[in-house]
Chain A
Amino acid sequence: MFDFLDLDEYDLFGAFWTTIQLTFFAGVGSLIWGTVLAAMRVSPVPVMRAFGTAYVNIFRNIPLTLIIVFCSIGLGQTLRVTMFTDGSVDPTNYRLAILGFVVYTSAFVCEALRSGINTVPVGQAEAARALGLSFSQVLRLIVLPQAFRSVIAPLANILIALTKNTTVASAIGVAEAAALMSEMIENEAQLIPIALLFALGFIILTLPTGLLLGWVAKRMAVKR
């Protein structure tokens, strides 16, 4: 049944490794940029709040495919953004895809985190300010550590969604799992086994993520 699976011809593990890399770099980037956005959305500076709100409402409402394609055609081909590569297409598109995922996913990270910030009693922030801590210290030392702990489960959801969303990168020719799947389906005419194989591959990636982070979320919960 699995005679289509010629690992010399199809680099199955390489493709999934690319998926993992895309997920990892986009995940780290989204977490950082999403945290910055969340900090902006709760900051006392109106301009920053407005920017954060506008950003989230724009990018979470644009289809991911559009963002990824724009990254390749708009940034890559038209504006000649090379993302610190030598300018050749493959590495550039790989990095542009990560940029696109970060731009998109960070909007969701920001909103998850903001709901976490709302779970921290406002009195704790007041107490911290009353001690003489600055706004950024209050955020870094008191609010965000508790906010993160309360949103580990929703962040796990976002990470799982991101893992699956990386398949969109095949639209701009990044050789990740979905790109390989299309290629194999075209060559081998065994649609169902191939689709099942890739579905299984994604479940192997995402299921442990969900279980592990669910367990972490329970352990890290702040007792009140």
Chain B
Amino acid sequence: MSDASLTKEIEDAAPLAEDLVILDGVNKHFGALHVLQDINLTIKRGEVVVVIGPSGSGKSTLCRTINRLETIDSGTITIDNNPLPAEGRELARLRADVGMVFQSFNLFAHKTVLQNVMLGPIKVRRQDKAQVEARARMLLDRVGVGSQADKYPAQLSGGQQQRVAIARALAMEPKVMLFDEPTSALDPEMINEVLEVMRQLASEGMTMVVVTHEMGFARSAANRVVFMADGRIVEEADPHQFFDNPRSDRARDFLSKILAH
């Protein structure tokens, strides 16, 4: 298994203690709504950070600011020592290093599964087509949809589509992966197949930011849980400490509502 590891390059490349993503004093408004308020968050290389919180707390927005799908009003975001550039070529280059998985999969509907995975490496990285195809097929096998390579996204189940989306992001060999509620649009029985892929990725040392409502995943796979409410980071803690003994009232209230039954 190790020679086919998805994140081998990253494990080889850097010491684990290095800070990969740094958000410093980030603010954002949607009109009058102050959706991100003085967010300070540092994500270390190889760390899995799970962001949880009630709807409308700004956690998806936070996730989307990291590759500038949402712009910010003030503060700085740094990825691998490079500040996030403005729109343009520089930004595209940086985004290529940041994988993103969306709630609604967002596969390219007019391209086959294999073409979806190959597009980025060929068009952005200008890599050799034969090599890209071999790697794409390997990735599709790893996420368990290798036999669907020539189908179109609409022919796949939600869980399969989301695993393709993960493979598509991994094909770029990203430094960090962002997951924006990756299982929220899935039928319950498909959630696990996606979480299993993510868990495997986490265990291989991929740096991950995961916005999710899956508390089981947060508990078992996260290095750190970030709890957000009303645009602020209310609590940051080790998952066991957070779930068993939350410090803030807001987190206790939130957990009592979702873990009650």
Contact = CB atoms under 8 A, between A and B. Distances in A.
Interface of A: 44, 121, 123-124, 126-134, 137, 141-142, 145-146, 149, 222-224
A132 B106 contact: no
B109 A130 contact: no
11 contacts: A44-B87, A121-B106, A121-B109, A124-B109, A126-B102, A128-B119, A132-B92, A132-B94, A132-B97, A142-B108, A149-B110
B110 A130 contact: no
Interface residue tally of chain B, by bracket? 20 to 34
A145 B92 CA distance: 21
Contact of A132 (B96, B154, B165): B96
A223 B154 contact: yes
B96 to A, nearest CB: 3
Nearest to B95: A132
B102 A127 contact: yes
B134 interface: no
Given A130-B95, A133-B120, A223 B87 contact: no
Interface in B153-170: 154-155, 165, 168-169
Nearest to B171: A131
A145 B106 contact: no
B155 A223 contact: yes
Interface of B: 67, 69, 87, 89, 92-100, 102, 104-110, 119-120, 123-124, 152, 154-155, 165, 168-169, 172
A146 B152 CA distance: 14
A126 to B, nearest CB: 6
B89 A124 contact: no
A121 B155 CA distance: 17
Contacts of B120: 131-133
Nearest to A145: B110
A155 B94 CA distance: 38
A224 B154 contact: yes
Contact of A124 (B69, B92, B106): B106
Given A123-B102, A127-B102, A142-B108, A134 B89 contact: yes
A142 B153 CA distance: 14
A222 B104 CA distance: 17
B109 A131 contact: no
Contacts of A130: 67, 69, 95, 98-100, 169
